[in-house]
Structure 1
């Protein structure tokens, strides 16, 4: 099984990837900052909540005056009237409520006050929002009704058709009840009813309360406007649902009871002085609540959905492009937080209970949006030794996420150039090393020919590093091997030359001995000596021929020849020179062209 081969360049490139550990460690560190930032935000908000409580404790009349307005038993429903962001046009359509969607509340089965004999579960429910704009209270009711029944023309029995009931406590303290019903969609006004619930006929028209009725695909919509000067401490709404014109009683579903003063919900119109004070103390992406001892909202300021994004107007174009890219990668703050407390008029929870018992509390809660969490801090408001209310301060986590993103952007802005620059330097260095090592390998391969000869073409590097030392070591080694090979190549000629002189002396001595003593010519020892000399002479001749042949091979120039034709001509010559011998030649018919020295081939044959 072949092992996977990694080149030096690949290994260095893989090594360069380890530089990514730097931004990864930085990312882990930045994410680890979250707990520290949360703790810092908790401390900061606790200090702010304590400061707000201290300011209100210096002006307790701001709390006590509001508390007296709603100083009713704790079981009573409560409505905190929030200011509207835009003026509402009374036309029965809900488009102008678009900026106040957080004020809508759902009223369904659990809010039914009385059921008629013909009531069917799920046949009637509505969503409702109230708010104030200048000197008026505005309310909208989006009613889902399976059977819409309008008032018969000329009929005075307003409870024999679908209708809206309004019950309020006037500034004088008296209960006033109003019905709104219509024979057809359009404008309508209220009718003052008797405080006797069994009396269905109106006492008179109330033109100060105006409204509009529009039918929808699944029911109808009612918009109304009431002067704030008509409203005292209490206010309730209810929808009366008639399913058939023959019904004598209606199903009543509402915010609270409307028939008796004790059933009505308390209403809190924000104090201008308290509202201005809280506006000064609040800041972006935070919200301040003031509640009484019964957890009813007395004042509210701020907005959790304030933008948590940074201002990029003073950045350069490349920085803005990078910032836009980072926004696609990094988790971004939520600009419009969906909060379940947006429309509540009473606060519940462990933090409120703790503050009203005299102990500040802090907690985090998750919203329905994945990236949005809310920090809640509560602090008691005291009047002497008595707790008269509590401050609840909320702030979203956008600031923490924004700080983390800024740190990540700075980290990436530093890490990416370092990583790219480091990778390019390593690639250049790897390419340079690879090139030098490849050149050294090629020179080493070319230094030895296919015949095993060492050529003197190796050029040593003059670089002052390890590869340069290796190149010079190879050069020195090949130079010494070349000298040794040259010595071996000339040794045959030198040996032949040196041995021929003593052989000649021995041969002449034997010849002289044979002439002086002819009887020794047939001597066995003499014959053996002559045969040994002849063999030594043949060996020397072959050594000389091999040397000359090698030199001839090196010096003879090669040319393109037809090998078949050359061998055929040689055989023809041998037949003419040796007629008594039989020569047989087998060749291919096609020509065989090669690069060779024809004279040496003839000599070989």
Structure 2
């Protein structure tokens, strides 16, 4: 991974700032919510106690039948079409049906739907009517009650038969409509509101399952109470909607309306701010649909919790964009019994506005800081990478084959750590360059310094031999030692001359003048000159068909080929083969001389083209020593032409191939 990417990852760590700010804003919003919830719960508790103290008309603690307000006129015909708007809030009737109760200004309506696939039919006036499928209706007023039998052998109108003696104020006869189909039967009737009933019982008898045919359990009638609404209106707070619910969630009274504070033009949250609030902040904000005002029953979990004696609060979405509603439900307790639930709802923009402003401000600030920090780190990383790249390029340029350092080392005047590193590199390369210059000129210095001592030793040996011969005092045993001394002096002289020649060769190669030549003709001429020298060895020359032009020094290339051929000839056995080939390669050329012979040792692959390295056997006394300068000259020629010299073993192991990769010499500007 590059340094720039690492610093970019470090810059991403600043993302912890907006995350921490987001958590802080969430915590602050939670505290604000808790404060508002506690305040509204305290208000609800106070109002509930006031309703109990003022002896407001609260519903009984036991479950009752809820009487809804008739939305449309109801026709008593045994069909449920008129009851469709009220059907979602039907009440269960035993385990086999449901019942709906509604009232208008004059009548109390009852609609019962019983599911039964097996029927036993009989009219209410039949003696065996109690053994057939039927309904038992109980009407109560104060302490008095009377039961009625509802049964019919066929669809149509029926007259209920009283099961109890006559009771003053309760009807003697009740007419109803009976309808049935394959799924069960339905009974619809109406009673005058003038009866002032306060209790009602209804039970289903199924002949197939049996049981008590006259059993019925009465329940109190519960309905919306305008008187309770007036009591509630006197206690309600401004801008707060209050509702009193029965323990089962039925609406008994309500007052007030949710009023969302009008926001100033600049305070109105946009769609993005509302989306941010709902997505990032408004956890546990419920849907507004279950809390609509026109439903007769609220079945929310908070109402159920309050009906069991525990206050509960919930945040839900408001009707206006960007608003929220806080609902607090507390139990209304009288005589240690929960007689109802008081629900207060208050709309607010304060929490969303504060949270949105804080969050958006924090996000903008954090991302601005993140962008600035990222840009600064990116610029710093880019500058650091460029400086390190300059340092690397300078180090690579300094790594010339002769060890010299080209030009001054960059950034040595910087005061930071990179400047210290550059100065350390500069001192290192100065030491290495000085040592390399010493080694490079060592050969010429030694050849110059050794010429005089060698001349003295040789002249002394000559004088010693002449003196002994003149005096005829040469011992016979001394002649071999004198010959060995002469041979050693001759070898030392050859070594000194070769070292001097190598120094002159380096200077000559560096001073060679390039020109545009056809390499095909240069290699062909060298190949034809080598054929007489090959003797019994077979020499093959592989050249391209067309010309191959290169800006080079042809005399240097011919000299390099001479060294390669002399080296290959000495290692090629009699009757062996040699192959000289030339081919174009990219923007240059490749010359290869392969010969049959022993493969190169693995340890010598990287040292063959160094100075004073040779694989030939040590020369015998009297022979010219092999100093290993030939391949070194080949390497200098290749480098002078912008290329490289390489040696490798042939794939089949039959010999060795030496290759010159040449790219041409730079053209001189006039």
Give how far 1:570 is off. 2.5
Assess if the C-alpha contact under 8 Å between 1:165 and 1:177 holds in 2. Answer: yes
Q: What is the aligned partner in structure 2 of residue 540 from structure 1?
A: 496
Matched with 1:121 is none
User: Per the alignment, do residues 503 and 588 of structure 1 end up closer, same or farther by CA in structure 2, a change over 3 Å counting?
Assistant: closer
Following TM superposition, by how much is the alpha carbon of 1:534 offset from its aligned partner in structure 2, in angstroms?
4.5
Hey, what does 1:278 align to over in structure 2?
Answer: 232
Compared CA separation, residues 484 and 497, structure 1 to 2 (3 A): same
Matched residue, 2:593: none
Distance 1:95 1:506 in 2: 142
**Which sections of structure 1, spanning at least 5 residues, go unmatched?**
1-5, 110-124, 258-262, 355-360, 366-372, 575-581
Corresponding residue for residue 47 of structure 2: 52
Aligned equivalent of 1:117: none
Find the counterpart in structure 2 of residue 579 from structure 1. Answer: none
- Structure 1 residue 33, shift from structure 2 partner: 7.6
Alignment of 1:415-426 (within 5 A): none
Which residue is 2:505 aligned to?
A: 549
The match for 1:583 is 535
State the alpha-carbon separation in 1 of the partners of residues 69 and 149 from structure 2: 24
Deviations 1:120-144 (A, max 9, x none): xxxxx01234355566545443321
User: 2:437 aligned with 1:486, yes or no?
Assistant: yes
- Bigger shift: residues 440-449 or 282-291: 282-291
2:169 matches 1:218: no
Q: Which residue in 1 is equivalent to 2:286?
A: 333
Per the alignment, residue 559 of structure 2 pairs with: 600
Q: 1:178 to 1:505 in 2, by over 3 A?
A: same
**Is the CA contact (8 Å cut-off) linking 1:105 and 1:343 kept in structure 2?**
no
Distance 1:454 1:322, change over 3 A: farther
Note closer, same or farther for the CA distance 1:172–1:380 as it changes in structure 2 (3 Å cut): closer
> For residues 171 and 470 of structure 1, do their structure 2 counterparts lie closer, same or farther at Cα, with a shift above 3 Å needed?
same
- CA positional deviation for 1:522: 8.8
Q: 1:107 aligns with which of 93, 116, 127?
A: 93
How many angstroms apart in 1 are the aligned matches of 2:532 and 2:452? 39
- Contact 1:168/1:231 (CA < 8 Å) preserved in 2? no
Query: Any stretches of 5+ residues in structure 2 without a counterpart?
Result: 315-325, 567-670
Q: Partner residue of 2:164?
A: 196
- The equivalent position to 1:474 in structure 2, one of 421, 425, 443, is 425
Local SS of the residue matching 2:92: strand
Distance change >3 Å, CA 251–CA 57, structure 1 → 2:
closer
The answer to whether the 8 A contact 2:331-2:338 is kept is no
Q: 1:289 to 1:269 in 2, by over 3 A?
A: closer
- Partner of 1:265, secondary structure, is strand
> Cα distance 1:250–1:496, how it changes in 2: closer, same or farther (>3 A)?
closer
Q: 1:290-439 maps to which residues of 2 (within 5 A)? A: 299-301=252-254, 314-319=268-273, 333-337=286-290, 342=297, 362=311, 377-378=330-331, 380=333, 392-393=341-342, 430=381, 433-434=384-385, 436-438=387-389
Instruction: Tell me which residue corresponds to 1:115.
Output: none
- 1:306-326 CA deviation, whole Å, 9 max, x = no partner? 999x99994335445656766
How far 1:52 moved relative to its partner? 0.6
Aligned-partner SS, 1:267: strand
1:238 aligns with 2:203: yes
Number of positions where the alignment pairs a residue of Structure 1 with one of Structure 2:
520
Alignment partner of 2:65 out of 70, 73, 79: 79
Q: In 2, Cα distance between the equivalents of 1:431 and 1:543?
A: 50
Question: How far 1:268 sits from its partner (Å)?
Answer: 3.4
Give the alignment partner of residue 138 of structure 2, picking from 155, 162, 167.
167
TM-score, normalised to structure 2, is 0.56
Query: Which string of whole-angstrom CA distances, capped at 9 and with x for unpartnered residues, describes residues 31-65 of structure 1?
Result: 878996786466435412332134335633x24xx
Query: Deviation per CA, 1:253-311, whole angstroms, max 9, x where unpaired?
Result: 9xx82xxxxx53222344313223436638879754478xxx999945489xx999x99
CA distance in 1, matches of 2:518, 2:472: 55
Deviation, structure 1 residue 489: 2.1
Aligned to 1:267: 221
| Conserved? CA contact 1:493–1:544, under 8 Å | yes
Q: CA deviation at 1:146?
A: 0.9
Q: CA deviation at 1:458?
A: 7.1
> Aligned in 2, Cα 1:349/1:516: closer, same or farther, shift over 3 Å?
closer
Q: 1:560 to 1:158 in 2, by over 3 A?
A: farther
> Is contact 1:444-1:458 (8 Å) kept?
no
Helix, strand or coil at the partner of 1:600: helix
- Determine if contact 1:104/1:127 at 8 Å carries over to the other structure: yes
TM-score (norm 1): 0.61
Judging changes above 3 Å, is the alpha-carbon distance between structure 1 residues 560 and 31 closer, same or farther for their aligned structure 2 residues? farther
Instruction: Tell me the SS of whatever aligns to 2:286.
Output: coil
Deviations 1:192-219 (A, max 9, x none): 6445389xxx96565xxxx876656633
1:316–1:53: structure 2 CA closer, same or farther, 3 Å change rule? closer
1:568 is matched with which residue: 496, 504, 527? 527
Please point out which of 107, 110, 118 is paired with 1:147. Answer: 118
Distance 1:175-1:320 versus aligned 2 partners, 3 A rule: same
Aligned to 1:357: none
166-175 vs 405-414, which deviates more? 405-414
1:429-453 residue CA offsets vs partner (Å, 9 max, x unmatched): 556545554554344234314x464
Indicate conservation of the 8 Å contact 1:150/1:182, yes or no. yes
Could you say what secondary structure the match of 2:538 adopts? coil
What are the superposed Cα offsets for residues 52-87 of structure 1, whole Å, 9 maximum, x if unpaired? 134335633x24xx67xx6xxx8x763354557x44
Against the structure 1 CA distance between its residues 566 and 377, is the aligned structure 2 distance closer, same or farther, given a 3 Å change threshold? farther
> Could you tell me how far 1:546 is from its partner in structure 2?
1.0
The answer on whether the counterparts of 1:131 and 1:139 sit within 8 Å (CA) in structure 2 is: yes
Cα distance in structure 1, aligned partners of 2:407 and 2:434:
14
3-state SS in 1 of match to 2:138: strand
Q: Structure 1 pair 331/286, CA: closer, same or farther in 2 (3 Å)?
A: same
Q: 1:135 to 1:232 in 2, by over 3 A?
A: same
